[in-house]
Amino acid sequence: MKTLRLMTVGGAIAYRALFNWTTPGMFVGTLLVGPLFQLLFFAYLGRQLQVADDRFYIVGNAVLTASLACVFGGTMAVANERRFGTLGHVLLSPRSRTAIFWGRVLPYAGNGLLIAVVTLAVGALLLGLRIPPGALPGLLLAMTAGSLACGFFGLTLGALGLRFRDVWVVSNVSVALLLLLTGVNVPASGLPGWMVTVGHFLPITHAAEAARRLAAGDGLAAAAPALGQELLVGAGYAVAAVVLLKIFEIESRRRASLDAL
């Protein structure tokens, strides 16, 4: 129970302290309105080029929109501690740092899930996509898996902030790669083989596949393999984040560069 409390309450407090947005208007404009315009752009582009259908773009981009808050939030969970000069206090805590940092991913994953749900609902309403009511619980599960995987992916990038000064460049490039390599806007059949291979190791790829199957009415059984793969990718990044945090913490202590900017 103590570990669970550390992850939930500690994660919520860290979210309030480290996730930077100044007004509700900025939050809505950046994380809700911006992704919706991205969805509409690709949906109408697909119509013009006669590539895929509206369901492909609506569902794929709805899952992808979680990446913005989750990747940057996961990065902030570590990098902003260093930026604000409080990282040393966190690392001196006698509590499990694995639980501390994993717990910080949860609010960002919830944030990403909210964005994905809003984007899917509004996009479907504007473009006239009908989703079978029975598919909604499975879609929520797919978007949750994608959000968690993106959060741990962001935490892995944040771990690099213990070694590199400007981790935000890495985060921006990573978000662009998710847009390009996960197959949310370009069918996998139209991508080079190496891009498809890389995409299998990135979050969102399998969650988008599962969500599309569910939206098409294929049922949870058909989407289960892709959901399992997405959860496996997320677990892999969760472990990678902990390992990198430990390695770079030791290296930073040795070089006396823990709070250096």
pLDDT digits (tens, 9 = 90+) for 64-83: 998 888 888 888 878 777 77
Per-residue burial over 3-15, b = 16 or more CB atoms within 10 Å of its CB, e = otherwise: eeebbeebbeebb
- Listed by start position, the domains of the chain span 1-12+24-255
pLDDT (0 to 100) of residue 115: 92
pLDDT at residue 207 greater than cutoff 90? yes
Residue whose C-alpha is closest to residue 58's, from 214, 230, 171 = 214
- How far is Cα 151 from Cα 171, in angstroms, rounded to an integer? 12
Distances from the Cα of 76 to the Cαs of 23, 95, 220, in angstroms?
18, 20, 34
CB 20 within 8 A of CB 76: yes
pLDDT at residue 255 greater than cutoff 70? no
Residue whose C-alpha is closest to residue 72's, from 166, 139, 168, 182 = 168
Q: What is the pTM of this model?
A: 0.88
- For residues 234-250, give the mean pLDDT: 89
pLDDT (0 to 100) of residue 64: 93
CB atoms within 10 A of CB 93: 11
pLDDT at residue 167 greater than cutoff 60? yes
Q: Which residue has the tokens 């604000």?
A: 84
Residue whose C-alpha is closest to residue 217's, from 113, 118, 128, 138 = 138
Phi, psi for 50 (deg, rounded to 5): 55, 45
- How far is Cα 184 from Cα 59, in angstroms, rounded to an integer? 8
pLDDT (0 to 100) of residue 37: 92
- For residues 216-237, give the mean pLDDT: 93
pLDDT at residue 58 greater than cutoff 90? yes
